[in-house]
Amino acid sequence: MEYVLQMKNISKTFGEVAALHHVNFEVGTNEIVGLLGDNGAGKSTLVKIITGYHCPDPGGEIFWKQEKVSHLTVSKARDLGIEVVYQERALADLQSLWRNIFMGRELSNRLGVLDQRGMVRETRKLMSTAMGFTSSAVTPESTVGTFSGGERQGVAITRALYFEAELIILDEPTMGLSISETRKCLDFVDGIKQAGKSAIFIDHNIVHVYPVADRIVVLDRGTIAGQFQKGELKFDELIDRLTHLAQTGHLETNHPKAR
């Protein structure tokens, strides 16, 4: 399998606390990776290293499409095509839909004058295709504060897709969403797969991760406790093993951990 992102021997210590030790993690091209783990397992530290927010401890290596990346920064990660879809925080509630879609990357001429028509047109196109908004009550001029949680998540994901992200990281996207909104959000994740992009889907809730992920990686106390390919394990078995992990700190895997 071709990897879009490969991380080798990643450790991260904050003072005395080791958030990650010797983690090997990779995401294949057009693969949806579900990242599971309890609070404090190291999920967000791992994500922050991928987005260039944190620098890994010496010895760790990051490869982007088989090329080594040294000193990954936030802006460098964005240039490579790594996009994070943060929940709630990522939208400006009082602004129109098109201003949110193009937030921080407004279409403009060389003098900075906005190409408003162009942005509204693109937004309208995205609404009917990617976002699946069919209600005539929603226009590119609608303020996103009036949207439902699922719609908002859709806006955030569509924004990432529009800007040609190669790897989209979804940080607990279903948190606080209703059942139907969650369904809609998971459809967007399917959309990422259809578009040929890769994603890392982080969630507490295995029920959400299981159906959309190609592979599930379980993090526990800073190490990778195990991983499963889709179909390798039935849903119930996975739940049993995770419960066992929570109780004993040991995860049974079908394959040895060393790769």
Partner 1 sequence: MASANTTERPLSPAKERGKFARLLRKYALQIAIVFVALLLWAFFFWRSPLTWGSYAIYNSLMSTTPYFALMAIPLTLVVVAKEIDLSFGSIMAWGMAAFSVVFMALRDTNPQLGVYLGFLACLLAGLFAGWLNGFIVVKLGIPSLVTTIGTQFFWRGVVLVVTDGQGLGMTVVKETILYNLFVGRFLGVIPAQFLWTIAFGIIVWFFLNHHKFGAHVYLVGDNVDSARLMGVDVERTKIATFAVVGVAAAFAGFVVSEQVLFLWPTLGDGYLLNTLASVFLGGTSVFGGTGTVFGTFVAAFIIAIINPGIVAAGWTAYWTQLIYGFIIVVSVALQSILRKRLT
CB of 16: closest distance to partner 1 in angstroms?
A: 28
The answer for residues whose C-beta is within 8 angstroms of residue 145's C-beta and 6 or more apart is 93, 94
Among 212, 219, 230, 203, residue whose Cα is nearest residue 257: 219
User: Does position 79 bind partner 1 by CB under 8 A?
Assistant: no
CB of 101: closest distance to partner 1 in angstroms?
A: 11
User: Does position 127 bind partner 1 by CB under 8 A?
Assistant: yes
User: Does position 86 bind partner 1 by CB under 8 A?
Assistant: yes
User: Does position 124 bind partner 1 by CB under 8 A?
Assistant: yes
CB of 93: closest distance to partner 1 in angstroms?
A: 6
The H or E element containing residue 201 is: strand 198-203
User: Does position 11 bind partner 1 by CB under 8 A?
Assistant: no
Give helix 149-162 / helix 179-194 axis angle, nearest 10°: 10
Q: Is 208 helix (H, G, I), strand (E, B) or coil?
A: helix
CB of 72: closest distance to partner 1 in angstroms?
A: 16
Stretch of 22-30, 78-86, 203-211, 223-231 contacting partner 1, by CB under 8 A: 78-86
Q: How far apart are CA 5 and CA 176, in angstroms?
A: 29
Q: How many residues does the chain have?
A: 259
CB of 158: closest distance to partner 1 in angstroms?
A: 14
Q: Is residue 163 within 8 Å of residue 193, measured between CB atoms?
A: no
User: Does position 106 bind partner 1 by CB under 8 A?
Assistant: yes
Number of other residues whose CB lies within 10 A of the CB of residue 133: 22
Q: Is residue 32 within 8 Å of residue 192, measured between CB atoms?
A: yes
Nearer to partner 1, 135 or 194 (CB): 135
The H or E element containing residue 79 is: helix 74-80
Under rule CB under 8 A, which residues in 136-195 are in contact with partner 1?
136, 139, 141, 143, 145-146
- Residue numbers of the site for partner 1 (CB under 8 A)? 75, 78, 84, 86, 89-95, 99, 103-106, 108, 112-114, 116, 121, 124-125, 127-128, 133-136, 139, 141, 143, 145-146
